[in-house]
Amino acid sequence: MIILCMDIALFDLYTTGHHLSYAARIKRALETVSEDEVTFITLSETSQCKDWFDSDEIDYIDAPDAPPLENRDRSFRNIVDEKISEFCSKGMLEQYDVVHFLYADDIFGPLWRHCPRTTETQLIAELNGVFFHRGTVLQRKQIHSTWLRLLQSPVGRLIDHALPNRTDHESLWADVYLYRFLNRGTFDHVVVHSMEAADYLSRLNPRQASTITKIPYPAPTDFGTDISKSAARDRLGLPSDDPLLLFFGGMRTERGIDILLDALRQYDETSFTMFLAGPPTAVSEREIECIDDESVVNIIYEFGFIDTPELYYRASDAVILPYTWQYGQERASQMFEEICGAARPVIVPDFGVLGRLTEEWELGTTYEQESVHSLTSVLAKFARDEISYSTAQMEEYNTKHSYKQTATTLSRIYTSSQQPQENLSADIIQP
């Protein structure tokens, strides 16, 4: 069979954080494994767009020089809704053979309202994590379990009909939107990044299991490995000889910053350096300095968004991701993958995707979820240089979780969307 080259659109209105780097790396990898024409679609041009894409690689829904979403006066949610409506209704979507929504779970409401019910364009939805966040009332452990059972029962259709197409708090109803998508068959394929996530979706609608594809969350291989630890520490002005543990990224509750700080307060064993680097969402400079004054641990911090994570990973001896249950047990992590790509061991709680992967692949050490006592014990192991991991296993893990591997699978998904559906998950490395 001859497969003609396709026009592929990678769609994401957001250009902050890791959104652009993810889109650019997926695009580059797709271009190495297929002859398809791949275009990135976003709202308008930002300075970061120029860092990752040439001008002819992007299509803009707005004028290229229009302000980015976060700089507009109008309601953020209303702008997203309006622009997705324009994309779906004014002939833009039909210009492509495949439209791949890279972060579909960020825009479930607008996609439900505006995605065409029938179209020759194949629609791919990727759930990139926020859907599985457990921060709202309906997502609390016991409440959420009951809520899911209701959706999976005949009552689910009543809930579907009762909930309006637009609400003021759409993140509360993410499960209902996903339930609707699966029942309607809106998307030709839904991409998730863990077997836990695939199981979650399959329980919502077992009849749509064949459209759910598991692909490991990709990361750059050899991520910064050309930078030595000593060179990275010199560039960042860090102690050259101390054992150095890194917490990187947003210091938010679901990322476990509170549990880590509690553990540092109680820690009284071998000294080491703790480096906190990222936006201080749920922590203050004063709080950290108070802990530093009382602790045997030398605490260094750098507040703000950092766009060279590989330098920080390479400066460390290990990286801790003390995520809480709110983060979501089905949720993968780009940071986790990048740390492995930088050849550094991880310290994570023993639950969900990250705990399972760490133990199965010998990528570092786990501790009892949300246990300060267990975490302090692991910190002592780190200070004594007793965090073990397998470099051979990590190398194999990185190869199987590479962007090239992901692009190869995505290319098969795009092609299969032009043919009778097949379940691709069975042949894919289990994430």
Written in H, E and C, the secondary structure of the chain is CCCCCCEEEEECCCCCCCHHHHHHHHHHHHHHHCCCEEEEEECCCCHHHHHHCCHHHEEECCCCCCCCHHHCCCCHHHHHHHHHHHHHHCCCHHHCCEEEECCHHHCHHHHHHHCCCCCCCEEEEECCCHHHCCCCHHHCHHHHHHHHHHHHCCHHHHHHHHCCCCCCCHHHHHHHHHHHHHHHCCCCEEEECCHHHHHHHHHHCHHHHHHEEECCCCCCCCCCCCCCHHHHHHHHCCCCCCCEEEEECCCCHHHCHHHHHHHHHHCCCCCCEEEEEECCCCCCHHHHHHHHHHCCCEEEEEECCCCCHHHHHHHCCEEECCCCHHHCCCCCCHHHHHHHHCCCCEEEECCHHHHHHHHHHCCEEEECCCCHHHHHHHHHHHHCCCCCCCHHHHHHHHHHCCHHHHHHHHHHHHHHCCCCCCCCHHHCCCC
Choose from 68-82, 165-179, 285-299, 408-422 the range with maximum mean pLDDT.
Answer: 285-299
Residues of the chain with CATH 3.40.50.2000: 7-218+402-427, 229-399
Residue 420 neighbours by CB distance under 10 Å: 5
Q: Identify the band that residue 1 occupies on the pLDDT scale cut at 50, 70 and 90.
A: very low
pTM recorded for the entire structure: 0.87
pLDDT at res. 426: 41
Alpha-carbon distance 68 to 409, whole Å?
A: 32
What's residue 181's pLDDT? 86
pLDDT tens-digit profile of 226-268?
A: 999 999 999 999 999 999 999 999 999 989 999 999 999 999 9
> Quick check: 254 and 327 in contact, CB under 8 A?
yes
| Residues 389, 339: Cα–Cα separation, whole Å | 13
Give the phi and the psi of residue 155 in degrees, each rounded to 5: -65, -25
**154-172: average pLDDT:** 72
Band of residue 352 on the pLDDT scale cut at 50, 70, 90? very high
Q: Distances in Å between the alpha carbon of 290 and those of 176, 283, 284, 285, 295? A: 45, 12, 10, 9, 9
Residue whose tokens read 């591997």: 405
* Rounded Cα gap, residues 184 and 169, in angstroms: 22
One-letter amino acid identity for 120? E
Q: Which CATH architecture has domain 229-399?
A: 3-Layer(aba) Sandwich (3.40)
Q: Are 346 and 367 in contact (CB under 8 A)?
A: no
Per-residue pLDDT at 237: 96
Measured from the Cβ of residue 365, the count of other Cβ atoms closer than 10 Å reads 21
**Distance between alpha carbon 266 and the CA centroid of its chain, in Å?**
31
Q: Is residue 116 very low, low, confident or very high in pLDDT (cuts 50, 70, 90)?
A: confident
**Digit-coded pLDDT (tens) for 120-131:** 999 999 998 778
The CATH class of the 7-218+402-427 domain is alpha beta
Cβ contact 324:370 at 8 Å: yes
What does the block give as tokens for 380?
Answer: 């002592």
Interval 288-306 mean pLDDT:
93
Model confidence pLDDT, tens digit, residues 373-402: 999 999 999 999 999 999 999 999 999 999
